[in-house]
Amino acid sequence: MADDETPLTVAQMAEATGVTAHTLRYYERAGLIRPVARNAGNQRSYSAADVEWVAFLLRLRQTGMPIARMREYATLRQLGDTTIEDRLLLLEAHQIHVREQITLLRTHENALAAKVRIYRRTLTAEEGKTS
């Protein structure tokens, strides 16, 4: 941690990342977050880099990456630059999955939009009959 960087407590980290303290501890136990530094009172002490890492983990999770794959990525990251190619391949595979999901969601949205148009036309036609 840089000398000018103020460490964050669990509560501050939870606020900064939008996840609960319970989730942060779970991520640590699950191997997604490296063991967090502790202060003199044995309380977790997070850095700005930890905030960025958790934000990235949340993005992976929100895009549907399973915890096991996130753990695999985190392990590769901890092993250092020799794993960059492996991390790239993992992220590229996930990117393909995300793109497939986007395509599927667009298809579903189009089907919903078509049904909404049908119902709107039906309601408009019925309103015209009662006028």
23-60 pLDDT per residue, tens: 999 999 999 998 888 888 888 889 999 999 999 999 99
**Tokens standing for 27?**
């991520």
Q: Tell me, which fold does domain 1-66 have in CATH?
A: Multidrug-efflux Transporter Regulator; Chain: A; Domain 2 (1.10.1660)
Q: Per-domain residue ranges for the chain?
A: 1-66, 80-131
pTM given for the model: 0.80
Instruction: Give the tens place of pLDDT for each residue, 114-130.
Output: 999 999 999 998 888 87
Contacts of 96 (CB under 8 A, 6+ apart): none
> What is the helix (H) or strand (E) element at residue 67, kind and residue range?
helix 67-79
Question: DSSP 3-state helix, strand, coil percentages of the chain (rounded to 5)?
Answer: 75, 5, 25
Task: Using alpha carbons, list the distances in angstroms from residue 95 to 55, 81, 90, 100.
Answer: 17, 21, 9, 9
Long-range contacts from 113-119, C-beta under 8 angstroms, 24+ separation: none
